[in-house]
Structure 1
Amino acid sequence: MDKEESEYTKDEILEKRKKFFSSSVSVSYENSDPLMIMGGYKARLIDEHGNVYLDTRNNVCHVGHQNEAVVAAVQKQVGILNTNTRYLHPNAALLAERLVSLLPDPLCKVFFVNSGSEANDLALRLAQAKTKSNNMIVVDTAYHGHTLSTLAVSPYKYKSKEFNMPFNDSLGKNVIKVPCPDTFRGIHTGDDAASKYANYVVEACNTYKKRGEDVCAFITEGGLSVGGVILPPPMYFKKCVDAVRAAGGLYIADEVQTALGRLGDDCFWAFLHGGNDIVPDIVTIGKPFGNGMPLAAVITTEEVSSAFESMGVEYFNTFAGSPVCCAAGLAVLDELERNKLPAHAARVGNYLKSKFLSLDLSDCPDVNIGDVRGRGLFMGIDIVNNDMEPGTLETSFICTKLKEDFRILTSIDGPHDNVLVVKPPLAFSIEDADEFIDAFKKAAQMIAKIDKSKISKTPT
């Protein structure tokens, strides 16, 4: 008789994973000691030995690990019905209605899908149906998914020269990459950075125009997470979108990592950052929507939806918008409202940001904080060395020590792998923030005592 799941050791599971999984399927903390997580609550995860870890990185369980209201909603619905999406069911219709109510006009048509990758893949299809073009403009370091079409607009995934895929040949033909609007480490950092960065989008539009072609779409994240938590400067979106629309294109806002109040109650959607009042033609959401259940969505206008319908191709997705997943989505929206979690995210995020900005690292001679950016519980701590260069080794060391010595889980991103990205469940508290800050400083103090040549360069 097979063992119960809880009876397997981590070594046994790791052996099975190596045997049956491709090595291309990554696991966190691969360069140190992978975790076997068996439980969780709020902003905490629990391993097979009962060790509890503070989770600063998991933006999937948006309203908290094993949130009681979401668990109850899923359990209740799965005990009644879970089937394909050919039938009418209240959960899907009610969730679509709630979603539209949270977005500005004229966004009014909803497509449910299973993941952020599927959402962005469908967004590209919708844009192509409306514009009859496939000419894309994308931002360097962006990530939009793992399907073939979304990989083509995800420079983050083809930054390696060794990564060769057929769509790479299309770069400069029907996919033009523009610089990331990074005002800290980017090529433009002054007061006029928004205009200068937006000019690259204008130039991309002109490139297509010279070829006698329209633009299909400008796809961008409201905040670039894997790019190192980059929130574009105010007016950037407006200048870019004005140019794109003048060239016949659409604006796709990828909110997969940043939607539903992560940036605070005054920025429920990241595309609103900086007082921006430009409404996207298409919005995609994913990761946080189902609190761990496979639920994502595309929301668009009547005009775009009608163009897609006119192609005469039925859109059917077997599991997308299932009764159980929609029950989870409704519960997530209820929890956000009931517990005022977007306002909580703003309050805790402001506190954490102020703590990092005022952190005294004078006794940490090899570690400096170059920048603390983001808003709400979407934050990036840009770590630099004594030469103010990206502290890639130092960041990797701190990340590993936070896990091993303090049981705090973090993630690293950015082009130089030197940005600690903070995007925890919105249940993350002031007390959690204090624990994180205290451990961060202690981990930073350890660097001066070790041989840096022994630090792995591979981010965890």
Structure 2
Amino acid sequence: MTEDAMIERRRRLLGPAYRLFYGHPLHIVRGEGVWLFDADGRRYLDVYNNVASLGHCHPEVVDATSRQAAVLNTHTRYLHDGILDYAERLLAEFPAAIGHLMMTCTGSEANDLALRIARRFTGGTGVIVTAHAYHGVTAALAELSPSLGPAIERGPHVHLVPAPTGTGDGFAAGVRAALARMAETGTKPAALLVDTIFSSDGVVPGEAGFLAPAVDAVRAAGGLFIADEVQPGFGRTGEALWGFARHGVVPDLVTLGKPMGNGHPVAGVVMRPEVVADFGRDIRYFNTFGGNPVSVAAADAVLNIVKRDDLAGNARRVGAYLAAGLRDLASRCDTLGEVRGAGLFVGADIMRDGRPARAEAARLVDDLRERGVLISATGPEGHTLKIRPPLVFTEAHADLFLETMAAALAAL
């Protein structure tokens, strides 16, 4: 079947809401490590996919899920050692105040559950998110994800604040202003919900510790702090397993997903026990597939490998090397602007005459695809390259990316 025929078949069968990457869509049939392969056998360096964070089709994860699927897969209403062993090991990677794990299938479900718990604990409804945030696709989360576009209406409980610029004072001032607006309208705050590297706002790692004043402000007003680690979690930011650790704060709830199962749909929420006590007593919660033995086997294998192979350390070392290479390119190319990042989560701005250049960024992403490198763009202006390769990325892979990037920038 031709590419055009596949696109038309997709449109006919899946409807109009789905989107494809790139002006020239990819027909991917296989993945291995940092590589994806198309139907013609051409390989592409994956510098974008933080879901398969250990690399595509990691053999140990494949083996763990295959072995468990051959023995048992059911729900959490039966006793099973797998989920208990995993919960114990995962919670040991968090501050001591974090004591419970509830499992879901997706990051959207995890954020939705965290919001329900926060609202029950605080009695509030108001939620503060950044101006171009993305937190999920459920009805509740889409309202809190302005990056999905203006067609989704935000309710009066949603309060947007500017994304941080790198320091804590400005961000905390925005949070305090949102809390003041809530007070004026009689809205009680429930939570400050942030992706701890602000990926959809343009990748803003900022200086270490800058989140603390904002967290203090929302807690003083009676709200909770929810750290969305669905994208930055499991070692991607390099300094620790969790993005919030850079800021010296202990969240009330932490949401997990994407890389948790290296492509297997598994996610969850970890939390302070006191915030879920009333929710657990009064509200029935069940997730048919959340925490099933096969998903837990995938998650357990991922955690084993991340720890054993020190992939956070690799993200720190290779991420610094990659960012330095991009900054060197920027010093020689006016089109490449500021480079920001933590570990293997890097944002690089594409500019034209000193201004954000959305069209040029889109052309660059498409040109890199034609040259065999896959990335994307993000941010409110759509001009920030979103660079987040698998955590097994090496300096040799970074060199290939930088070489290809230099050629694409020259062509642009």
1:392 aligns with 2:358: yes
1:249 aligns with 2:220: no
Partners of 1:360 and 1:379 lie apart in 2 by 14
Cross-structure match for 2:15: 22
1:113 aligns with 2:104: yes
Cross-structure match for 1:272: 245
Partners of 2:387 and 2:152 lie apart in 1 by 31
- Residue 220 of structure 1 and its aligned partner are, at CA, apart by 0.6
Q: TM-score, normalised by structure 2?
A: 0.96
1:427 aligns with 2:392: yes
Cross-structure match for 2:69: 78
1:126 aligns with 2:133: no
Cross-structure match for 2:336: 369
Cross-structure match for 1:176: 159
How is 1:154-165 mapped onto 2 (pairs within 5 angstroms)?
154-158=145-149, 160=150, 163-165=151-153
Cross-structure match for 2:253: 282
Residue 392 of structure 2 aligns to which amino acid in structure 1?
A
On the 8 A contact 1:361/1:441 being kept in 2, the answer is no
Partners of 2:226 and 2:80 lie apart in 1 by 29
- What does the per-residue CA deviation read over 1:16-39, in whole Å, with 9 as the maximum and x for residues that have no partner? 21111122111111xx21111111
Cross-structure match for 1:146: 137
Cross-structure match for 2:51: 60
On the 8 A contact 1:194/1:234 being kept in 2, the answer is no
The alignment's C-alpha RMSD in Å is 1.5
Residue 105 of structure 1 aligns to which amino acid in structure 2?
A
Partners of 1:40 and 1:34 lie apart in 2 by 17
On the 8 A contact 1:256/1:288 being kept in 2, the answer is yes
On the 8 A contact 2:143/2:152 being kept in 1, the answer is no
Partners of 2:178 and 2:360 lie apart in 1 by 37
On the 8 A contact 2:142/2:152 being kept in 1, the answer is no
Larger Rg: 1
Q: Identity of counterpart residues, as a percentage?
A: 39
- What does the per-residue CA deviation read over 1:170-206, in whole Å, with 9 as the maximum and x for residues that have no partner? 2xx32111111034xxxxxxxxx42122112112222
The 1:225/1:360 distance shift into structure 2, 3 A limit, reads closer
- Residue 127 of structure 1 and its aligned partner are, at CA, apart by 0.2
1:348 aligns with 2:341: no
- Residue 83 of structure 1 and its aligned partner are, at CA, apart by 1.9
The 1:9/1:66 distance shift into structure 2, 3 A limit, reads farther
On the 8 A contact 2:83/2:296 being kept in 1, the answer is yes
Cross-structure match for 2:306: 336
On the 8 A contact 2:339/2:346 being kept in 1, the answer is yes
- Residue 212 of structure 1 and its aligned partner are, at CA, apart by 4.5
Partners of 2:330 and 2:346 lie apart in 1 by 19
- Larger CA deviation: 292-301 vs 148-157: 148-157
On the 8 A contact 2:179/2:189 being kept in 1, the answer is yes
Q: TM-score, normalised by structure 1?
A: 0.87
Partners of 2:271 and 2:92 lie apart in 1 by 13
Partners of 1:75 and 1:149 lie apart in 2 by 34
Partners of 1:261 and 1:440 lie apart in 2 by 25
How is 1:193-272 mapped onto 2 (pairs within 5 angstroms)?
193-264=167-238, 266-272=239-245
Partners of 2:199 and 2:187 lie apart in 1 by 31
Partners of 2:120 and 2:345 lie apart in 1 by 33
Partners of 2:106 and 2:55 lie apart in 1 by 19
On the 8 A contact 2:109/2:138 being kept in 1, the answer is yes
1:403 aligns with 2:362: no
Partners of 1:237 and 1:96 lie apart in 2 by 27
On the 8 A contact 2:204/2:341 being kept in 1, the answer is yes
1:381 aligns with 2:348: yes
- Residue 228 of structure 1 and its aligned partner are, at CA, apart by 1.2
Report the secondary structure of 1:65's partner residue: coil
Cross-structure match for 1:455: none
- Residue 361 of structure 1 and its aligned partner are, at CA, apart by 6.5
Cross-structure match for 1:303: 274
Unaligned runs of 5+ in 2: none
